[in-house]
Each structure stands twice: as structure tokens, then as C-alpha cells.
Amino acid sequence: MRIGVLRGRENSFPDAVIAKVNSMDKGVAAEFVQLGGTKLNDPVPYRVILDRMSHEVPYYSVYLKMAALQGTYVINNIFWRCADDKFFGYCAAEKLGIKEPKTVVLPNRAYVEDVNDESLRNLWPADFEMYLSFVGLPCIMKPAFGGGWKDVNKIHNLEEMLFHYNTSGQKTMMLQELITWDAFIRVPTIGRRHARAIRYDPAPLGRGGYNQDYDALPRGMRDKAEELSLRFNQALGYDMNALEFAFKDGKYYGIDLTNYTPDLDYRSLKDAHFPWAVEKMAEFAVEKALWGALSGLISALLVFPIAAVVPATPVHLHVSWPILLTLVPLACVMCGAFGLMFGTRVEPRSVPAMFGIVLLPLTFLGAVYYSWATLGPVQWLKVVVLVNPLVYMSEGFRSALTTAPHMTLWAIYPVMIGFTALFMWLGVTGFRKRVLS
């Protein structure tokens, strides 16, 4: 079982992650990915790929999409990276309750060769003075796509803004309110559950730096920044990120929240923080590699024995409208209540795992592909599956749509109503706890 690493110019972090994985003795080996052209659906030998370079090498991005199609877990999600931009990140953050500076995204200054005036008939002239008035001066001008402080400038007046806009080429630029922060915080995150809020001194051209004292931030400030970072990552699906917050008058402003390939180099993190990043990434990559194999094994152990003993029979449609018209609303409410319970009782980071552990067995043991009566030869299984609400729903639809043998309606309706009440109670109480906490 292998983990592949795609790297660029950096050395310390990829080298250290590979060494750490190979020292863990978990039956998982890590190595650098070697590519040189890819055939259609070439087998991908890696269960996990840590991507540190596809944002600058388009061929890598194409390869990773194919790898994901084959079941390889890519860190970060390659499809999300292709769709992401910083302006969207700010919009999403506001929806998640994270305060954002006033921000405006501007039309492009230049376009590819084939774009002409007719291509831009939906575009009106931008009122730059109005936008500067909206965000306030001085402000920050920066790209909606990018990182590493490239093309980030402080704007003091309209002339400066026009100068940088006119030299921006095909980049999509933004104007953003300047927050004169009391503390600046950067939060490297790994695996949507590990975060490390660090006091940071922002500066371009690599002159910024992480404070080597983890306790330089007050504990409460650190915990809040980490909580906001994990909230954002869990909502958007980032497995690695580095989020930046400007702390001002007790408020946390999201300044840069979408770093698909965050700087985790030793020269930046140094001794105080680099080992943490390496350890958490190695553990997360190994966990994903092992879990992929384990979930497949669990599914096989559940499905193949059942498939061997459950006969397949043809289905002929025969609609009983009174049953169908009463069962459909009840099934919808029961499933909705189950979803509410599932969403409020399960930690967000555990939801993907629950699909393999809970929902897949519920489906295969829910009389969806066979009738409950056909489980007679396996009497113990016929009894055990009665705790599965899908059994009653499937048997109800079997009664409504076929002439096949089915469970009595005197059992189906009361049990479905009971499950609905139970799920609704658990879901509503779970929702209240989430909101109040």
C-alpha cells in the first residue's frame, strides 16, 4: 500500500513526510510520484497522493483527476482546487459566521486573444471611485487566484489603484478593506481536525515569519482562531490549509482563507512548528490509506455472504394507490428525520466515514434488493434486520408496487411512525445542542 507525493521546489516538508510515513511501520510506504505522460485510465499505484504542485503544473492536475476517479484519495481535493478562488472563500466564510473585511472583485483588465467587445456585452464600466469609497483608503489590492504575496499592494489613492489595475493583465483583482490589526494569526491545519494558531508577522517576499513561541497568543484567542479555521475547512473540504486572521477589537477578520498548497517549509515553520506539521500530515495520509482498504474489506465481508444466500427474483409492477399515496409522505418524513438526526449527532469530520460504516450496511441489509421474506433460510439475519428502518420502508413499497410477498402492513406503518418520532426527537434535540453550543 503506497502514498505518493507530488512536490515542486520545496524539499523539507515532502522529504520529512515521506521519512515519517516510512518510519511508522503501518504497512504503508511513501515515495515521490514519477510521471512522464499518462494513458487513458492508466492504473494509479497510490491509495493516497499528497499534492504540493498541481496548482502550477496543469498536467499534474489532469493526472490527479484521473487518480481520484480510480479511488485515490488526493490531499487536497483536486476538483475543489480547480473550482476555488479567494473571493468565494470570503463569501463562504461570511455564511459560516466568520467576519470578513469589505471586499470587491473587479472585472479583468485584459483577456485572452479571442475575447473582443462583443464578448463583453454584459460588462458595464467599473466605478472605481465608488469601490474605493466602499472599502475605504488605504486598502489592499490582490488577486482572487494566487498566493505568496504575489501582486499584493497597498493602495492609498485612485491613481495607485489604476496603476496596479492597468498592469494586472489577465489576473482577476480584488479591493479589500485594510484591517489595522491588534494581532495577526496564521493557522496551519491538517486533516480538518488539527489546527495550530500561531502569531504571525506578515510581510512580502518571504520576510514574514511565525513566532516560535506557541504561547505568544493568549489561549482563548488561539482556541477561537483554531475553531474558526476547522469550521471553514470542514465546510469546504480542505485537508490542508493555512488560514490568516486579523484580530481587531475582539473580532477575527478572515484575511486569507483558501491556501490549497500552504507553506509548510521548515524555513517558515522552523523547529517550533515544523515537526507538528510533518507528524499530523503523515498520520493523516496513513489513516486515509488504511481506511480506504479497511472500508472496502468491510463492505466485501458484508455484501458477498448476503449475495450468496439471497436469491434474485423478477419484479412486476402492480400499483396499489392507497398504500403508495400514504407511504410516500411517511417515508419522506422518516428519511428527513433520519438525515436531521445523522447531521446533528455525528461530528462533521466523521460524516464521510459514516457512509461506509452505517449507510452502506443499512442499504444492503434494508430489503432493498430482496424481500424480507426471502431471508427465511438465514433466520438469525431475518430477525436482526428488523432494527433497520429501511426494511419497513422497502417492504412498504414492495406492497404498494408489486404482488411479491411482503411484510404485513400492520407492522410497516406503526414501526415507520415509531422510527420517525424517534429520529425527529433525536434530530431536534441534537440540533438544539449544536445551536446552543
Q: Which three cell numbers stand for residue 335?
A: 428519511
Examine the domain organization and report whether 103 and 196 are in the same domain. Answer: yes
Least confident of 86-100, 267-281, 420-434: 420-434
Between 316 and 376, name the one with better pLDDT.
376
Is the pLDDT assigned to residue 437 strictly greater than 60? no
pLDDT of 350: 65
Going from the C-alpha of 343 to that of each of 191, 229, 338, 354, 430, the distances in angstroms are 20, 20, 8, 11, 9
Residues in the chain: 437
Same domain, 276 and 321: no
Strand order from edge to edge, sheet including 73-75: 29-32, 2-6, 48-51, 73-75
User: Above 90 in pLDDT, residue 148?
Assistant: no
Same domain? For 146 and 250 the reply is yes
Q: Is the preceding omega at residue 138 within 30 degrees of 0, hence cis?
A: yes
pLDDT band for 390, please (50, 70, 90 cuts): very high
* pLDDT class of 243 with cuts at 50, 70, 90: very high
Share of the chain above pLDDT 70, in %: 92
Q: CA 211 to CA 292: how far, in whole Å?
A: 37
In a domain, 303, yes or no: no
Q: What is the pLDDT of residue 376?
A: 87
pLDDT band for position 348 (50/70/90)? low
DSSP string computed for 221-277: HHHHHHHHHHHHHHHHT-SEEEEEEEEETTEEEEEE---SS----HHHHHHHHHHHH
Among 61, 83, 105, identify where a domain stops.
83
Average pLDDT (234-246) is: 95
313-326 pLDDT, tens per residue? Answer: 655 678 899 999 99
Q: What is the pLDDT of residue 357?
A: 74
Q: Which tens digit of pLDDT belongs to each residue from 88-98?
A: 999 999 999 99
**Regarding beta strands 153-155 and 139-143, do their DSSP bridges make them parallel or antiparallel, or are they unpaired?**
antiparallel
* 3-class secondary structure, 310: coil
Residue 197 domain flag: yes
Looking at 280, 298, 320, the residue that finishes a domain is 280
Q: Could you tell me if residue 231 is inside a domain?
A: yes
In a domain, residue 348? The reply is yes
317: DSSP letter: B
Residues 227 and 156 in one domain: yes
Last residue in a domain, options 232, 260, 280: 280
245 neighbors 228 (Cβ within 8 angstroms) = yes
pLDDT of 409 higher than 80: yes
Q: Are residues 270 and 383 in the same domain?
A: no
**CATH code assigned at 133:** 3.30.470.20
Residues 258 and 130 in one domain: yes
Tell me: do 274 and 341 sit in the same domain: no
Question: What Rg, from alpha-carbon coordinates, does the chain have?
Answer: 27
Distance of alpha carbon 427 from alpha carbon 346, whole angstroms: 11
> What is the per-residue pLDDT for 346?
78
Instruction: Read off the pLDDT of each residue in 275-293 and give the average, rounded to a whole number.
Output: 90
How many structural domains comprise the chain? 3
- Is residue 156 located within the same domain as residue 268? yes
Over residues 380-408, the mean pLDDT reads 91
Q: Is residue 305 part of a domain?
A: no
Q: Give the CB-side neighbour count of residue 186, counting CA atoms within 13 A.
A: 21
Phi/psi at 369 (nearest 5 deg)?
A: -100, 0
CB under 8 Å to 401, separation ≥6 — which residues? 317, 318, 319, 320, 324
- Residue 18 is assigned to a structural domain of this protein: yes
Report whether 243 contacts 254 (CB < 8 A).
Answer: yes
Confidence of residue 223 (pLDDT cuts 50, 70, 90): very high
Are 215 and 155 within one domain? yes
Q: What is the CATH number of the domain that holds 59?
A: 3.40.50.20
> Is the per-residue pLDDT at 185 higher than 80?
yes
Give the pLDDT score at 206: 60
pLDDT per position as a tens digit, 245-257:
999 999 999 999 9
Does the pLDDT value for residue 352 go beyond 70? no
- Tell me, yes or no, whether 298 lies in a domain: no
Q: Extract the C-alpha cell encoding 386.
A: 428488523
Query: Position of cell 499592494?
Result: 153
pTM above 0.75, yes or no: no
124 within 8 A of 115, measured Cβ to Cβ: no
**Mean pLDDT of the residues in the chain:** 90
Same domain flag for 160 and 91: yes
> What is the predicted pLDDT for the residue at 342?
82
Asked whether residue 24 falls in the same domain as residue 168, the answer is no
Say what the pLDDT of residue 309 is: 67
pLDDT above 90 as % of the chain: 70
Mean pLDDT of 43-54: 95
pLDDT, average across residues 396-409: 89
**Structural domain containing residue 420:** 310-436
Clarify whether residues 22 and 140 are in a common domain: no
| C-alpha–C-alpha distance, residues 173 and 416, integer Å | 55
pLDDT at 265 over 70: yes
Query: Is 246 among the domain residues?
Result: yes
